A and B are shown apart, each in its own frame.
Chain A
Amino acid sequence: MLIFLLRRLGVMLVTALCLTFVVFFLTNLYPNLEKVAKLEGTQRMTDEQVANFLERNGYTQPVFNRYGQWLGVLPGFTNTNDDGKVIGRCIRRGMDPAEAPRFCGVLQGDFGWSIVFKTEVGPLISKRLGLTGWLMMTVLLVMIPSALAIGVLAGMREGSRTDRWLSTFSIATTATPEYVSGVILIVVFSSRVVGLKWFLGSSASAMENITFWNFTLPVVTIALYGMGYIARMTRASMAEVMTAQYIRTARLKGVSFPNIVMKHALRNALIAPFTVIMLQFPWLLTGVVIVETLFNYKGFGWLLVQAASNNDIELLLTVGIVSVIVVLVTQLISDIGYVYLNPRIRIG
């Protein structure tokens, strides 16, 4: 078990390194750097000024060198300006160059500087992650119980009318991406045209204070899309369990149907959906990005869009690290949980 965990941890580290390097490489291609220069300086810089700016701020060093600086294994870049002022990677605005540390990278716990938000990346990310955490948690609380309920109800009597209806419903939800269901929900529940006006179409106010009115639509939008898939997996697994010998035995000895479902079938039927739910997290991340943009909820997904569209290199790298950790940790949990739920499987 310990070896398994260590190996997974190693793979995770290598994956994170490769992923950040790819992001680093792509964001540091020259046309992208030009975008950075124009954002930092002015929009109307000439090509020469851009080249000058990049040279002065150390963007023209070899990419491996700069990646090492970002990681914190190479000393941070410094340069003395024409007017004698020392600038460098590790020297923040208003900081005395002599006091600045020599290394400042991820290994030192410094995630860099966001050029769009003009602030430290670390605190920025943690604040936005907190907001998205609330969203995710509510989504999971809504999505998982309802998906499991639909799946179990559909799968316990395969081929029945309930099964047909619930299966069609779950297929329909998987066919409706967030940007479609979000639009439809806004139209129905908050636009002037239909006139129901039950919920707010924007969740900007939920960043301060979450209420039923401003948080329902985004949560339902994400939950609907993810729900169908989990429900279908639960249904398949439930239907399979219901044909097993021990269920037949239980029926023959006269156990009532609700008891069979609750006490005999459920535990075995929930093993497969557990894995699916865990692997659903990366998908949820995409959903979060769309929904946060659609409902103007400024969380982690919104941050990703801002960082990516402005080529905010260091912010984007940290966003990448966070998401790769989310993906790989949920994979790990799903593997370990699978063993825990199903004692017949061993990992070695």
Chain B
Amino acid sequence: MEPLTWGQIILAILLQLKWVWVGMILIFVFSIRNKRKLGLYGKLFDNPIGMFGFGLVLFWVLCAILADTIITQDPLVQISGMKNKLPGTPVRGVEGAYYLLGGDNLARDVFSRLIAGSQTVLSIAPAATAFAFMVGITLGLPAGYYGGLFDTALSFLANLVLAFPVILLFYLLVTPEIRETGVVTWVAGVLFIFPVIFFWTFMFSRWRIAPRVLTSVAAPIVIILLMFYFGTVFKMDPFVGIWTTVIGHLNQGNPIGEWMTQTWEQHSPLLSLGLGPERLNIFVAVVFVNSPTIYRIVRGLTLDIQTRDYVAAAQTRGEGPWYIMLWEILPNARGPLIVDFCLRIGYTTILLGTLGFFGLGLGPESPDWGATINDGRKLLSIYVHPALPPALSLMSLVLGLNLLADGLREESLKD
């Protein structure tokens, strides 16, 4: 078979991405039609720069979701004879199959790895940023609101983490040796409890006089979150454990009891985020690096908003401090926080790339963009095609997030 020309390659890639285009067009048409009803998100479509940024981000999000329909080869399989082949080379022995963007130095398909890499990046970066925000908010609000010793101690800790060079911290926190010692588990145990605390105080402060809401909505959510927490961090689930052990014990000798204990042993965490040890490690490191900055932002915003009249009004009404923090101060700080959230996902993507670039975290097989760039750079003066596509993808995703943040900032300032 003949190798494809550049025109054919582009056409083939565009065709391969067909469902992404369909999805983007549907979402754009829907959003532009309803932009007056969609609040801040709708206003984004009045702003060309914000819309362009949103388009870029949406493209990568859809690529990550639809990755299985887009990839042409298995991103991990090496096909002999395809090492460092140029874009458009037909796969040897398979009719109609091509390496659309060529092969890397281990003879894997660059295009499929690129798409699979978007999945890796987008499954970690936004979630890690969200976790970091919950840690930062849960600590920053009381630090700004109460001040005093709590504030001093936490600010010192935040400054301490910020004084570390990021790369040194990564080298210390993301290694197989550290995973062996269990330090990661403990750091994860501390950091991941904050979302649970956040949700509980968020709901408790509002509905503490309505026990029906608490027992029927808040408690189940918090219990599910706790199950996720124990399942993800400690790889076990005390709720299911206690339940099955008690019933299994009561039914001792019965087939039901045996079945229950067996199920417990086989599927011990009923709910978990499904992060392997390496991903958990990366996740923890990224949350750890990001949360001090968010803490400082939230603390600063709290110090500012605290002096407003509506806070004084709430205090006069006799509202509790957590109600004021979470339901008066936080909603009024949302503008800068949303903008920072978008920017920070971009920054987290860069951090993940940095980790991959230094070969930390995910194994060498992993298709994430940073690692691919690192692999490709060794042969850069001869073969450009393995390193360039992930580099451009990372750039476009972060650019999209930055433009989106810029658009959101402009639109939210217009009110």
Give the total of B residues in contact with A, Cβ under 8 Å.
Answer: 49
State the Cβ distance, B312 to closest chain A Cβ, in Å.
Answer: 28
Specify which chain A residues have a CB less than 8 angstroms from the CB of B49 in the assembled complex.
168
Q: Does A15 contact B (CB under 8 A)?
A: yes
Q: Which residues, 361 to 415 on B, are CB-close (under 8 Å) to A?
A: 370, 373-374, 376-377, 380-384, 387-388, 391-392, 394-395, 398-399, 401-403, 406
Q: Which chain B residue has the least Cβ–Cβ distance from A294?
A: B377
Complex contact A30–B377 (CB within 8 A): no
Taking CB as reference atom, which chain B residue is nearest A190? B381
A59-67, A90-98, A179-187: which lies at the B interface? A179-187
- Assess whether A304 is in contact with B380, with CB atoms less than 8 Å apart: no
Most buried by B among A34, A174, A285, A304: A174
Closest to A35 in B: B177
Complex alpha-carbon distance, A94 and B84, angstroms: 51
Would you give the shortest CB distance from A238 to chain B, in whole angstroms?
Answer: 17
Select from chain A the residue with minimum beta-carbon distance to B383. A193
Give chain B residues whose Cβ lies under 8 Å from the Cβ of A319.
168
Q: Give per-residue flags for A77-88: 1 if the beta carbon is below 8 A from chain B beta carbons, else 0.
A: 000000000000
Whether a CB of chain B sits under 8 angstroms from the CB of A277 is no
Q: In the complex, how many angstroms separate the beta carbon of A290 from the nearest chain B beta carbon? A: 7
Rounded to whole angstroms, the CA-CA distance of A64 and B403 in the bound complex is: 49
Q: Are A192 and B399 in contact (CB under 8 A)?
A: no
- B180 contacts the other chain (Cβ, under 8 Å)? yes
Question: By the criterion CB–CB under 8 Å, are B380 and A23 in contact?
Answer: no
How far apart are B77's CB and chain A's nearest CB, in angstroms? 25
Q: Given A19-B164, A175-B398, are A27 and B172 also a contact pair (CB < 8 Å)?
A: yes
Q: A179-B370, A183-B387, A285-B165 are in contact. Are A192 and B382 (CB under 8 A)?
A: yes
Q: How far is the CB of B147 from chain A (nearest CB, A)?
A: 18
- What is the minimal beta-carbon distance from A167 to any residue of chain B, in angstroms? 8
Does chain B have a CB within 8 A of A68?
Answer: no
Contact B165 A323 (CB under 8 A): yes
Known: A187-B380, A193-B384, A328-B163. A320 touches B402 (CB 8 A): no
Contacting pair A327 B163 (CB below 8 A):
yes
Given contacts A175-B346, A175-B398, A180-B394, contact A26 B165 (CB under 8 A): no
Interface SS of chain B: helix
A289 at the interface (CB under 8 A from B): yes
Q: Is the CB of B181 within 8 A of A174?
A: no
Task: Kindly state whether residue A176 has any CB partner on chain B within 8 Å.
Answer: yes
Q: Is the CB of B163 within 8 A of A201?
A: no
Question: How many Å lie between the Cα of A285 and that of B382 in the bound state?
Answer: 30
Query: Which of these, A18, A30, A184, A289, contacts B160 with CB under 8 Å?
Result: A18
* Contact (Cβ within 8 A) B382 A180: no
> Complex Cα distance A286/B355, Å?
12
- Name the B residues within 8 Å of A323 (CB-CB): 163-165, 168
CB distance from A248 to the nearest CB of B (A): 22
Which residues of B have CB within 8 Å of A19?
160, 163-164
B-side contacts of A175, CB under 8 Å: 346, 395, 398-399, 401-402
B354 within 8 A of partner (CB)? yes
Q: Contact at B357–A290, with CB atoms within 8 Å?
A: yes
On chain B, the residues within 8 Å of A308 by CB distance are 167-168, 171-172
Which residues does chain A contribute within 8 Å of B398, judged by CB atoms? 175-177
List CB contacts (< 8 Å) of B272-287 with chain A: none
Let me know if A174 and B402 touch, CB within 8 A. Answer: yes
Q: Is A268 an interface residue (CB 8 A)?
A: no
Return chain B residues, CB-CB under 8 Å to A293.
357-358
Q: Are the CB atoms of B370 and A320 closer together than 8 Å?
A: no
Mark contacts of A318-339 with chain B using CB atoms, 8 A cut-off: 1 yes-contact digit, 0 otherwise: 0110011001100000000000
For B354, give its contact among A34, A286, A316 (CB under 8 Å). Answer: A286
Known: A26-B178, A328-B163. A187 touches B357 (CB 8 A): no
Indicate if the CB atoms of B168 and A23 lie closer than 8 Å.
Answer: yes
With A177-B394, A180-B394, A183-B391 in contact, do A29 and B178 touch (Cβ < 8 Å)? yes
Asked whether, in the complex, the Cβ of B177 is within 8 Å of the Cβ of A32, the reply is: yes
Cβ < 8 Å to B, chain A residues 302-326: 304-305, 308-309, 311, 316, 319-320, 323-324
Is residue A216 contacting chain B, with contact meaning CB distance below 8 A?
A: no
Instruction: Give, as a whole number of angstroms, the nearest-CB distance from B165 to chain A.
Output: 5
A183 touches B353 (CB 8 A): no
Does any Cβ of B come within 8 Å of A31's Cβ?
Answer: yes
Chain A residue contacts of B177, Cβ below 8 A: 29, 31-32, 34-35, 311
A9 at the binding interface (Cβ < 8 Å): no
Are A177 and B354 in contact, CB atoms less than 8 angstroms apart? yes
Judged by a CB distance under 8 angstroms, whether A172 is at the interface is yes
- In the bound complex, what is the Cα–Cα distance between A309 and B175 (angstroms)? 9
Which A267-318 residues have C-beta < 8 A from chain B? Answer: 282, 285-286, 289-290, 293-294, 304-305, 308-309, 311, 316
The residue that B167 contacts in the complex, of A171, A187, A289, A328, with Cβ under 8 A, is A289
Given A31-B176, A293-B357, A328-B163, 20 other A-B residues pairs in contact with their CB atoms under 8 A? A26-B173, A29-B177, A171-B403, A175-B398, A177-B398, A179-B377, A180-B373, A186-B377, A186-B381, A187-B384, A190-B381, A191-B381, A193-B384, A201-B381, A290-B357, A294-B377, A304-B168, A308-B167, A316-B168, A323-B165
User: Using a CB–CB distance below 8 Å, which chain A residues touch chain B?
Assistant: 11, 14-15, 18-19, 22-23, 26-27, 29-32, 34-35, 168, 171-172, 174-177, 179-180, 183-184, 186-187, 190-194, 201, 282, 285-286, 289-290, 293-294, 304-305, 308-309, 311, 316, 319-320, 323-324, 327-328
**Mind listing 12 A-B residue pairs with CB under 8 Å?**
A171-B399, A175-B398, A179-B374, A180-B391, A183-B391, A186-B377, A191-B382, A193-B382, A194-B384, A282-B163, A289-B167, A304-B167
